[in-house]
Amino acid sequence: MELFEQPVTVRWSDLDPNGHVRHSVYYDYGTFARIAYWQKYGFGPDWMASNNCGPVLFREEAHFHRELNSGDELVVNVKLSGLSDDHRKWSMRHEIRRGEELCATLDMDGAWLDLKARRVAAPPKNLGERFAALAHTEDFQVIGSGKEK
């Protein structure tokens, strides 16, 4: 299993008037890390558009542990916390760290979307296999396919 990590620097534009990192920026850091992971293996936005396959989020939740400051050097990791057997549905967790210090945790539930049919669908095999190779969280769970009646 691969632990993917993306470095990020807190920019001045990430701050609110009080000097705190705006809450929505944490979600941007997670998106940046996910896209960087997919791009590393050739599954970036161009590939997604040409293969009619893209991610869709159903839930995204942040837990803030430590204040971030302008100029902080961070690392955002990408882990799977759940995956359906057919790879259609998934849950992910990002840990945002400053050195060894855990500053925030992002949890999300999503799926792969067939961009033509506009429906949840299994991704192409090569993407599904690469995605399943991500490091798993300690509480990883297999997600039901959602096809049950």
CB 112 within 8 A of CB 54: yes
Res 62: pLDDT: 98
Q: What is the mean pLDDT of residues 95-113?
A: 98
Domains present along the chain, CATH in parentheses: 4-141 (3.10.129.10)
Instruction: Tell me the per-residue pLDDT of 109-118, one tens digit each, with 9 for 90 and over.
Output: 999 999 999 9
CB atoms within 10 A of CB 58: 11
Upper half-sphere CA count for residue 121 (Cβ side, 13 Å): 14
Q: Quick check: 148 pLDDT over 70?
A: no
pTM for this entry: 0.91
Q: Quick check: 147 pLDDT over 90?
A: no
CB 90 within 8 A of CB 111: yes
